[in-house]
Chain A
Amino acid sequence: MTLMRCLLIPLLMAIAVGLCLTILSLPEGEPGLQEAVAQQLTDSGVRNPVTAVLLNFRAYDTLLELVVLLLAVLGVWSFGAHAGASAPGAGEVLDALARLITPILILVSVYLLWAGAHAPGGAFQAGAVLSAAAVLLILCGWQPPAVLGRAPLRLGLTLGITGFLLVGMSTLFSGRSLLQYPPDHAGSLIMLIETAATGAIALTLTLLFIGTAPAGRNPS
């Protein structure tokens, strides 16, 4: 083992030095695709170039990212049920903090979703903040209502992808190709897709934290 460690450290140092040299040798001040994006920004429906690229120019990639998130949840669920660790009772500090911070987190999430059109933000950030609020509540012992057991949960998980696909395919009927929004309504279409995606991402991340599939999946 020590021989492998003696060989490993120089190898890692060589990789680190190679990375540094590569990054330092990059040409300075390359605009890349910023000019191309800036030219088409007015047609994209949003004023933030990152959101325009994610939700309009490369919307197909974002759709597939949502599918990857769904596959992650299915992968975690495939491990089967396991006895979760008994959560210790939430202390007073955590309880008070959760009561204070959860409404703020929900508000911040909605703001990030709305601000994604013209400032840093967007669906992923809003979904992550919302799932952080849900994780905080779960750590305090909140149990999601059992009525959200199976079918509504699966509907919510796939809501982002189906919403995205419906909007994308609706453009097919007006003579454009898949996910080619009409420039007049691109802004509202993007906001619609982002809202559905936020809910789905928040649900996905929370389920990744919970780990087990909801009880009653297997009728046997």
Chain B
Amino acid sequence: MEALNLLTWAIDALLGLCLLWLAWWALATPELFRAIVLFVVFSLFLALVWVRLAAPDVALAEAAIGAGLTGALLMSAMARLHAATATPPELRGSPEPDTDAPKAADAGRPDSP
């Protein structure tokens, strides 16, 4: 059973590293949509981690609320943000600058309010 123990350790280590990598990537990416998708994937991986920690009830709640509901909520917020900050066509002189970058950067900074 040593091989199974080693395999379990490898899976656990892989899950942990994926969590850290996804969290870093979600915070560092400049596109809001990609960040939200990465957050949803992070929630799914976290649900797997809860299963590995012998907490299946928490895993069910995490998968339903973290991945499902919060993901949809963030997407809805992003849509309203774009609708609120998009300038009307008649006021646009030059080509519209990328409105994603400053807001995503604001969301990615660790000391943003």
Instruction: List the B side residues contacting A128 at CB < 8 Å.
Output: 60-61, 64-65, 68-69
CA distance A129 to B68 in the complex (A): 9
Identify whether the interface residues of A are mostly helix, strand, loop, or mixed.
helix
Instruction: List the B side residues contacting A186 at CB < 8 Å.
Output: none
10 A-B pairs, CB-CB below 8 angstroms?
Answer: A85-B76, A85-B79, A120-B57, A121-B57, A122-B57, A125-B61, A132-B64, A135-B69, A205-B65, A209-B76
Given A84-B80, A121-B57, A121-B60, check contact A209 B69 (CB 8 Å).
yes
CA distance A147 to B69 in the complex (A): 25
A→B interface (CB under 8 Å): 4, 8, 12, 50, 84-86, 112, 120-122, 124-125, 128-129, 131-132, 135, 139, 205, 208-209, 211
CA distance A209 to B61 in the complex (A): 17
Given A50-B57, A121-B57, A139-B72, check contact A129 B80 (CB 8 Å).
no
Instruction: List the A side residues contacting B83 at CB < 8 Å.
Output: 85-86
CA distance A208 to B77 in the complex (A): 12
Given A85-B83, A132-B69, A209-B76, check contact A8 B64 (CB 8 Å).
no
Instruction: List the A side residues contacting B57 at CB < 8 Å.
Output: 50, 120-122, 125
Instruction: List the A side residues contacting B68 at CB < 8 Å.
Output: 128, 132, 135
Instruction: List the A side residues contacting B65 at CB < 8 Å.
Output: 128, 205
CA distance A66 to B59 in the complex (A): 20
